[in-house]
Amino acid sequence: MSGPSFFQTHMGQRFFEGTVPQLVRELQRLNGNLERLVAVAEQLAGQKQSSSAESLEPAPGDLEGR
C-alpha cells in the first residue's frame, strides 16, 4: 500500500491525539466507578450477613433471662 501511514493522516492524528486519550479517560472513569460499586456491594453483603446471622443465632446473653 502506498501513501502516508495512518498516523500521518489528519484522521490518524485526530485518532491518536483525541480519540485514544478520551478512551483512556473513560476507561479510568469506568474503573473508578466499578471500584466504588464493588466496595458498596461488599459493604451491603457484610451487613446482610451480619444481620441475618444476628437474627438466626441468639447471643449468649439472650438465653440467660429465660
pLDDT at position 16 over 50: yes
Q: Mean pLDDT over residues 51-65, rounded?
A: 61
Q: Mean pLDDT over residues 11-39, rounded?
A: 98
CA torsion sign, 42 to 48 to 51 to 56?
Answer: negative
* Whether 57 contacts 49, CB under 8 Å: no
pLDDT at position 9 over 90: yes
In this prediction, residue 25 carries a pLDDT of: 98
* Whether 7 contacts 13, CB under 8 Å: yes
Q: Mean pLDDT over residues 55-61, rounded?
A: 59
| Strand, coil or helix: 31 | helix
Q: Mean pLDDT over residues 35-61, rounded?
A: 80
In this prediction, residue 55 carries a pLDDT of: 58
